[in-house]
Structure 1
Amino acid sequence: MIIDSLMTRARQSIAKRKHYNRLVAEIDSFTARDLADMRADRSEMLYQIHKQIYG
């Protein structure tokens, strides 16, 4: 039971990290022009995805 719980939490943690890394890579791929067109701030976007995924 304890091992199952640890494995489940590890899988969830890995999935969260994978999702986070994918979103960071996508945000990092935006050029300054892309961000200006979206009226977005890269650091704010990164902060928001971290908050969304990790709480």
Structure 2
Amino acid sequence: MIFDTLFKDARAHLAKRKRYNQLVSEINSLSDRDLADMNGSRAEMLYNVRREIFG
């Protein structure tokens, strides 16, 4: 039972990490021009992604 919970938590963390890495990769692939067109800040986007996924 303890191991079930441990493995469940590990799988959930790995899924969150995978999604985080995907989003960071997408944000980092945006050019400065793309960010300017969206009136976006790379740092702010990365901060929001981390806060959204990991709390």
**Which residue does the alignment assign to 1:8?**
8
Within 2, Cα distance between the matches of 1:29 and 1:37? 14
Within 1, Cα distance between the matches of 2:4 and 2:28? 36
**Which residue does the alignment assign to 1:42?**
42
RMSD over aligned Cα, in angstroms? 0.2
Within 2, Cα distance between the matches of 1:51 and 1:29? 20
TM, length-normalised to structure 1 = 0.99
Within 1, Cα distance between the matches of 2:50 and 2:9? 18
Encode CA deviations 1:11-53: one digit per residue, 9 max, x unaligned.
0000000000000000000000000000000000000000000
Within 2, Cα distance between the matches of 1:24 and 1:49? 8
Number of residue pairs the alignment of both structures matches: 55
**Which residue does the alignment assign to 1:31?**
31
Residue ranges of structure 2 left out of the alignment (5+ in a row): none
Partner AA of 1:35 in structure 2: L
Segments ≥4 residues shifted beyond 6 Å: none
